[in-house]
Amino acid sequence: MPKVVDHRERREAIAHALWRVVEQQGWPRATMREVAREADVSLGQLQHYFSSRTAMLTFAMEFAAEQTSARVTRGLTGLDQPPHPRDVLRVILAEMLPLHPDARATSRMNTAYVLEALHDPELREQARVGLDEGRAMVERLIRQALIHGQIPADRDPNIETDLILALTGFAPLLELGVITPRAALAAVDQHLDQLFAPTS
């Protein structure tokens, strides 16, 4: 009896292969042929699942976002319930920085995705929408913390949201060894401590 192929599983395996190629060789070398070799499938098989390099990248980014969300959810289960918004933001930021292999692969994919999106109008809109949704989630956390008096009332939620997102800019500094993971997390913790500092 022929084996039933799980198409979602095969697409995820190809996405993982793309991550490995990007992490080890960089996006310019992540050709369809190279990813097929890494995934141990023929080029024709890969093209059955993804008609183009862009389609493959788009799926890989969507899958990476799902994996990041799952890691954040697991991280939140270890916190007091309901978790304090400061701790929620800390977990989110830690997963958005290349501090462990899975997050590092996602970070490098994000870089490739943004660079590709700069020259592809369709990808650019997809990337913009994704980033806008992420920003809206952070802003909701900030506004809820303001409502509950966990952040000083004089803080501007838009500015504070942008400052939180700016912390993800540590990614290239970490990748290039300019700062250490410990230094990045210390800066994240200090910023969050100052944001959530009780008013006297």
Write down the domain spans for the chain. Answer: 52-195
Q: What pLDDT digit, counting tens, does each position of 109-149 carry?
A: 888 888 888 988 888 998 899 899 999 999 999 999 999 99
CA 157 to chain centre: 22
Instruction: Identify residue 79 by its one-letter amino acid code.
Output: L
Amino acid 57: pLDDT: 87
- What residues contact residue 76 under an 8 Å CB cut-off, 6+ apart? 83, 88, 91
Amino acid 53: pLDDT: 87
Q: What is the DSSP letter of 29?
A: G
Tokens at 56, concatenated: 């493959």
Amino acid 5: pLDDT: 58
Whether domain 52-195 has CATH 1.10.1060.10 = no
Cα–Cα distance, 115 to 129 (Å, whole number): 16
| H-only helix segments in the chain | 7-25, 32-39, 43-49, 53-77, 85-96, 101-117, 121-147, 157-166, 170-175, 181-195
CA distances from 121 to 59, 111, 116 (A): 17, 17, 10
**pLDDT digit string (tens) for the chain, length 200 residues:** 445 457 888 999 999 999 889 888 888 888 999 999 999 999 999 999 999 888 998 898 888 888 889 999 999 998 888 899 999 999 999 999 999 888 888 888 888 888 888 988 888 998 899 899 999 999 999 999 999 999 999 999 999 999 999 999 999 999 999 999 999 999 999 999 999 987 65
